[in-house]
Structure 1
Amino acid sequence: MALVKDNILLQLVRGTLGDQLTIYERNGQIIMAKKRGPSKKKPTKKQLEARYKMTIAAAYAQAILKDPELKAYYKSLAGPGQNAYNMAVKDAYKSPEIQHIRFEETDVVVTAKDEFRVAEVDVCVHDAAGVVQERGKAVLGRNGVDWYYRAVGLPVGGKVVVVAVDLAGNGTVREVRLE
């Protein structure tokens, strides 16, 4: 790969020359590189999974571009050389992270983070037999990271199942046993 500087001949040239060179521009710089071809190796299972995940992320990004409000949100987060589409793909590719679940009397406090934004947190309380006692949506706290859900009761021997969902619809599930 070579960066081209002050070459009048290559200032207006873009594309592939024969089967040898590719000339393209990225972030205002002209780059000349050896032409790449398709791999001759069979893709691994992880590669196929990554390709599928990227296909889903790209489809989400295409849909986001039609919503002016979300497009403006993602564009506001874009850095140099990035756009709303890039940010939407990045958001759709990664799921939110549930960092911590703690209990304050009958409140369930969930610390959930995402590189962009956690859209909602759902809490489901099960008793010792696994029967759902209650479920509902948590409310975002003032710090923008903690989500609060006021439970009617937290049965001993039961469990609390928390689902954090980001703007792209990716969900992360975490379960905590009640003692």
Structure 2
Amino acid sequence: MALVKDNILLQLVRGTLGDQLTIYERNGQIIMAKKRGPSKKKPTKKQLEARYKMKIAAAYARSILEDPELKAYYKSLAGPGQNAYNMAVKDAFRSPEIQNIRFEEMDVVVTTKDEFRVVDVDVRVHDAAGTMLERGKAVLGRNGVDWYYKAAVLPAGGRVVAVAVDLPGNETLRELVIVGDGGK
């Protein structure tokens, strides 16, 4: 490894030269080093999980490039130096967030958040024994973050399970125990 000082040619050069040298900048210093080869260490479980997640995200991003509507959507969100593919990979990497579940009389209100878009919220109502009493799709409210589901019954001691799904199909599940009469 060598630190480069006051060389006008290397002030502008970054990258790999041939298969031998790599020039990069770290903390304001220009560094020339022998090109590194692939690691000989066995990847950790976390590294394997990250690689798999990236493989899935890249496959999703490639698929949206074939859909003009989705491609235009992601392109509209891209900043300088970014494109629809980059945005789709970013979206596929992160699952939506369910911030809150609350009751407004017999409505189950699920507040969601996603950097891009939550496309679906599924609500299930279970009794205290765990038997599913009803299931249905919530409807997006005017504010764009609250999803409303009109429940037929909200049994005390039961639970409400909400599943939020984003554009790439990532799911987030959250449960809430029904206390009291559930809003009746």
Fold shared per TM-score above 0.5? yes
- Count residues with an aligned counterpart: 167
Q: CA distance change for structure 1 residues 18 and 60 in 2, over 3 Å: closer, same or farther?
A: closer
Q: CA distance change for structure 1 residues 169 and 18 in 2, over 3 Å: closer, same or farther?
A: closer
2:108 pairs with 1:108: yes
1:81-127 CA-partner distances (Å, limit 9, x unpaired): 11100100000011000011011111101110001000110000011
Determine the structure 1 residue equivalent to 2:18.
Answer: 17
1:151-178 CA-partner distances (Å, limit 9, x unpaired): 1110111110100000000000001111
| CA apart distance, 1:41 | 2.1
Conservation of the 8 A alpha-carbon contact between 2:100 and 2:111 = yes
Determine the structure 2 residue equivalent to 1:67.
Answer: 67
Structure-to-structure mapping, 1:22-171, within 5 angstroms = 34=33, 35-171=35-171
SS at match of 1:89: helix
Amino acid at match of 2:119: A
Amino acid at match of 1:125: V
Inter-partner Cα distance in structure 2 for 1:32 and 1:169: 42
Inter-partner Cα distance in structure 2 for 1:39 and 1:152: 58
SS at match of 1:71: helix
Q: CA distance change for structure 1 residues 105 and 33 in 2, over 3 Å: closer, same or farther?
A: farther
Conservation of the 8 A alpha-carbon contact between 2:15 and 2:22 = no
| CA apart distance, 1:78 | 0.5
SS at match of 1:130: coil
| CA apart distance, 1:40 | 2.5
Inter-partner Cα distance in structure 1 for 2:16 and 2:70: 33
SS at match of 1:142: coil
* Greater Cα offset, 64-73 or 124-133: 124-133
Sequence identity percentage:
72
Amino acid at match of 1:168: P
Q: Which has the larger radius of gyration?
A: 2
Amino acid at match of 1:121: V
Inter-partner Cα distance in structure 2 for 1:22 and 1:102: 55
| CA apart distance, 1:132 | 1.2
Amino acid at match of 2:171: G
Inter-partner Cα distance in structure 2 for 1:80 and 1:32: 27
Inter-partner Cα distance in structure 2 for 1:60 and 1:98: 23
- Structure 1 segments, 4+ long, off by >2 Å, are 13-18, 31-37
Determine the structure 1 residue equivalent to 2:27.
Answer: none
SS at match of 2:168: coil
- 5+ unaligned residues in a row in structure 2: which ranges? 25-29, 180-184
